[in-house]
Amino acid sequence: MKNFWHLSSKILLLVILFIFSQCAFTNARNRPVTTYLDEVINIKPESTVKRVIVAPIAIPVGLVTLTSDIVIIHPLSSLYPASEDAYEYIWVNPSGGPVVQVFLFIPKLVFTPPFILLDALFRSLFDVRR
């Protein structure tokens, strides 16, 4: 029984590591404000004293930019690709004839916004390349 828990905890750890390795915020192109701040400031103190002096300013500013990237900017930038996905998967190349498409118009219209929101949420959480 002890081996089972030991093995299951290792598997759970590997799954968590895999999930976090695919997170959107680990990719620099998904955090534009923080990446821009890194490029503009470009502070690379060589000594420990310089790092200690810069830390009280850099840590709060970095947390604010990273939080705004993760919570606001990247989810908003995910809406356009999500809408393209909805257009492609729901509206383009429909199967069935014109009569079937007339009957499916209302369900497609109703299903499009939740599809866009779920797709954008997925793109916000995971690094989806297209």
What range does the domain containing 122 cover? 78-130
Which backbone phi and psi does 107 adopt, to 5 degrees?
A: -60, -35
Which distant-in-sequence residues (6+ apart) come within 8 Å of 61 by Cβ? 37
Same domain, 42 and 70: yes
Flag whether 87 is in a domain. yes
Q: How many domains does the chain have?
A: 2
pLDDT value at residue 106:
92
Same domain, 82 and 60: no
How many CA atoms are closer than 13 Å to the CA of 130, on its beta-carbon side? 9
pLDDT value at residue 87:
92
pLDDT value at residue 19:
60
Final residue of a structural domain among 42, 58, 74:
74
Flag whether 84 is in a domain. yes
- CA dist., res. 64 & res. 58, Å (int): 10
- CA dist., res. 76 & res. 63, Å (int): 19
- CA dist., res. 89 & res. 115, Å (int): 10
pLDDT value at residue 44:
64
Give me the tens of pLDDT residue by residue for the chain, a chain 130 residues long. Answer: 556 666 677 777 767 666 655 677 777 778 888 888 877 776 666 667 777 787 788 888 888 988 888 888 888 988 999 999 999 988 887 777 888 888 889 999 999 999 999 999 888 887 777 6
Tell me whether residue 40 is exposed, middle or buried, using C-beta atoms within 10 angstroms of its C-beta: 0 to 12, 13 to 18, 19 or more.
exposed
Is the pTM of the predicted complex or chain greater than 0.85? no
